[in-house]
A = this chain, B = another copy of it.
Amino acid sequence: MRADWVAKRQGQSNVSQMHYARQGVITEEMDYVAKRENLPVDLIRDEVARGRMIIPANINHTNLEPMCIGIASKCKVNANIGASPNSSEINEELAKLQQAVKYGADTVMDLSTGGGNLDEIRTAIIKASPVPIGTVPIYQALESVHGNMENLTANDFLHIIEKHAQQGVDYMTIHAGILIEHLPLVKNRITGIVSRGGGILARWMLHHHKQNPLYTHFDDIIEIFKRYDVSFSLGDSLRPGCTHDASDEAQLAELKTLGQLTRRAWEHDVQVMVEGPGHVPMDQIEFNVKKQMEECSEAPFYVLGPLVTDIAPGYDHITSAIGAAMAGWYGTAMLCYVTPKEHLGLPDAEDVRNGLIAYKIAAHAADIARHRPGARDRDDELSHARYNFDWEKQFELSLDPERAREYHDETLPADIYKTAEFCSMCGPKFCPMQTKVDADALTELEKYLASTAAKEELAKA
């Protein structure tokens, strides 16, 4: 679909959606996105121009179905996939991609760190993906110097970044905000630095006593991103890795730098979103969202969770869906999912499913709480079906129809129960949905209540 759209942009020095938006141009991508979101296309263009919305759409990802990320549109969900040296291979990753798209991932990040040919896996994923693909190029940069972090140079980074851009990656996590001056601020943390990319840069800076090369070469990255329309996903290297470390000086110092970098990218019409924590107690979530808006001039916020407690490994899709739902309500644009395997192992396809549904719930609940027009329509439709014992329709309207059906059928599998006015939870006589208050009976009751007899009777009680 996009092949024709991007063909005519060939040779232009800046092909970013923001660049066009700022010239008043409405691109095909903006048009497509406006229809998907049921929003006026002018609003889409204005939000992209303002930097409050991004349309991550590398011109080399031609099979992309464009989508947008920003507070004016529905809250989005990202799923991470990717091979690790301990497990996974290309077909498994493609299966995870399919699983992610099937269950509603709005974007997918390929976080492969090994376990196969990284370029091959990435190219296959981009080719197969209708949703934007994000990457963290520093992982491959480290592989390119055989894991010897101290040997990394700015050119190694730029080389890999350009390669990802050519391959069609739509957005990249760039850890440019962690500065050498920030490092002493992590002293009092329990879990130090828990961003993989940020940790690599921290060790590099400690070793060389030099400034973060992604910061010093930020303009070079901007130049690459312009030519392909890659969006920045500014990495939060100093995000808290536990609730104890949340909202501390280190995190907030980096956030300030991320704001400066946001505005620097915007000077070149390059799209930006900003990554956020992590592990945050519930009472600090609103502060975190508002602070990001303030420091980063309302560039879309993209948070990982946050987990609202640290004591539930095995259930961190839940600990983090709580934080994610709240973050979305407060105005976060995209939620990065967490699977039940977080902190424990590499997720498989079933984990991807469970993580994604938890996050679709969070994002949808956020849309409802923000009163987005029409956000509750599907809920109301399902509630009607529930009240009318239309089981098939309930399943169909569910975020995961197969699961809903499976659970229902576990105790009452026969077809006849698909029209039954009960399920095994309460049995045939106690289903609360059977309490149909008849309209005629209510009218009669109202007449009675208006009578003198009723008033006397009820006054006695």
Contacts and interface: CB of A to CB of B under 8 A. Distances in A.
A277 to B, nearest CB: 13
Identify whether the interface residues of A are mostly helix, strand, loop, or mixed.
helix
Given A86-B411, A364-B309, A461-B216, A435 B344 contact: no
Interface string A330-369: 0000000000111111110000000001101110111011
Given A357-B315, A442-B183, A345 B425 contact: yes
B311 A379 contact: yes
Contact of A369 (B283, B346, B400): B283
B242 A199 contact: no
Q: Quickly give the copy total for this chain.
A: 2
A437 B309 contact: no
Given A190-B380, A343-B386, A309 B365 contact: yes
Given A86-B428, A308-B365, A442-B183, A192 B281 contact: no
Nearest to A436: B192
A192 to B, nearest CB: 5
B346 A445 contact: no
Interface residues of A, number: 128
Contact of A322 (B85, B314, B361, B379): B361
Contacts of A404: 313-314, 344
Contacts of A142: 429
Interface in A376-403: 376, 378-380, 382-384, 386-387, 394-395, 397-400, 403
Interface in A6-24: none
A192 B184 CA distance: 59
A196 B434 CA distance: 9
A43 interface: no
A430 B403 CA distance: 34
A451 to B, nearest CB: 10
A454 B84 CA distance: 38
A206 B441 contact: yes
A449 interface: yes
Interface stretch (A92-100, A123-131, A207-215): A207-215
A312 B445 contact: no
Contact of A206 (B365, B383, B425, B445): B445
Contacts of A346: 411, 424-425
Nearest to A139: B430
A458 interface: yes
A242 to B, nearest CB: 4
Contacts of A190: 380, 383-384, 387
A280 to B, nearest CB: 10
Q: Which of A216, A361, A371 has the most CB of B within 10 A?
A: A361
B425 A343 contact: yes
A344 B423 contact: yes
A86 B376 CA distance: 33
Interface in A202-255: 202-203, 205-206, 209-211, 215-216, 241-244
A373 interface: no
B180 A445 contact: yes
Contacts of A368: 243, 281-282, 308-309
Interface of A: 84-87, 113-115, 139, 142, 147, 180-181, 183-184, 186-187, 190-196, 198-200, 202-203, 205-206, 209-211, 215-216, 241-244, 281-283, 308-315, 317-319, 321-322, 325-326, 329, 340-347, 357-358, 360-362, 364-366, 368-371, 376, 378-380, 382-384, 386-387, 394-395, 397-400, 403-404, 406-408, 410-412, 423-439, 441-442, 445-446, 448-449, 454, 457-458, 461
5 contacts: A209-B445, A241-B386, A314-B403, A341-B410, A345-B408
Given A203-B435, A211-B457, A281-B369, 15 more contacts: A84-B424, A86-B412, A190-B384, A206-B441, A242-B386, A309-B379, A310-B379, A311-B379, A313-B407, A314-B404, A315-B403, A318-B358, A345-B410, A345-B412, A345-B424
